[in-house]
Chains A and B, each alone.
Chain A
Amino acid sequence: GAGVSQSPSNKVTEKGKDVELRCDPISGHTALYWYRQSLGQGLEFLIYFQGNSAPDKSGLPSDRFSAERTGGSVSTLTIQRTQQEDSAVYLCASSLATAWPLSYEQYFGPGTRLTVT
């Protein structure tokens, strides 16, 4: 079956512009995660959605970052007034649930490489 898909695969934008990144999770997966991977760094948790519960936004680095998930499926990550330090690969993952002890596998998309010039 289809895995997690993300679009665009690459995005180059000018400093100060807004960008929207899209994630299509695996059908039936109730949990969706956004991560950021900067060059030479580990994955950084940004936000996750679980079903109809309020999202956990504790990882968002600033109020320029926001995300929404419509209809419990597709998610968009929006970065407003982009800065050069926002340049990174943004990865989306989905899983069946987030129930402790988190035995459900997270399946990652290929990521969106964002370059802010």
Chain B
Amino acid sequence: KNQVEQSPQSLIILEGKNCTLQCNYTVSPFSNLRWYKQDTGRGPVSLTIMTFSENTKSNGRYTATLDADTKQSSLHITASQLSDSASYICVVTPNRDDKIIFGKGTRLHILP
């Protein structure tokens, strides 16, 4: 069964610190993997997208990595800001006939 597991479920860090969120998936083969940021009460917004052949993708202070061999992806946030407080969702798109699969997300809290 295709699955996307994210860890930790929640994370609290101080403003200015770095953090890394994990995504493990069993979807294979897949066409792309995305990381979304979802602010409270808002819809998800895409941060990065990587195809299976890409290893890393950056978007400002956000850097996503992908290891297709171990089926793991991570999202690294550098120099966190209060506005980074949100849920971060890992999403994997299988082949063309299967539905995209959303992880349950990691809830990140940035403390001043």
Q: Which residues of A pack against B, CB within 8 Å? A: 4, 35, 40-45, 58-59, 91, 93, 100-103, 105-111
Chain A neighbourhood of B42, CB < 8 A = 110-111
The answer to whether residues A100 and B96 also contact, given A93-B43, A109-B43 and a CB cut-off of 8 A, is yes
Other A-B pairs, 15, CB within 8 Å; known A105-B46, A107-B43, A110-B41: A35-B102, A42-B104, A43-B44, A43-B102, A58-B99, A100-B95, A102-B100, A103-B49, A105-B49, A106-B46, A109-B43, A110-B42, A110-B43, A111-B42, A111-B43
Q: Complex: how many Å from CA A42 to CA B91?
A: 10
Min CB gap A35→B, angstroms:
8
The answer to whether residues A59 and B100 also contact, given A4-B43, A43-B89, A109-B43 and a CB cut-off of 8 A, is no
Q: Could you give, for residues 92-112 of chain B, a 1 whenever the CB lies within 8 Å of some chain A CB and a 0 otherwise?
A: 010110011011110000000
Q: Complex: how many Å from CA A91 to CA B104?
A: 15
Min CB gap B28→A, angstroms:
14
Q: Complex: how many Å from CA A93 to CA B49?
A: 17
Name which of A93, A105, A106 has the most chain B CB atoms within 10 A of its CB. Answer: A106
- A45: nearest chain-B partner, CB-CB: B99
The verdict on B14 contacting chain A, using a C-beta distance below 8 Å, is no
Min CB gap B91→A, angstroms:
8
Q: Could you give, for residues 33-61 of chain B, a 1 whenever the CB lies within 8 Å of some chain A CB and a 0 otherwise?
A: 00000000111111001010000000000
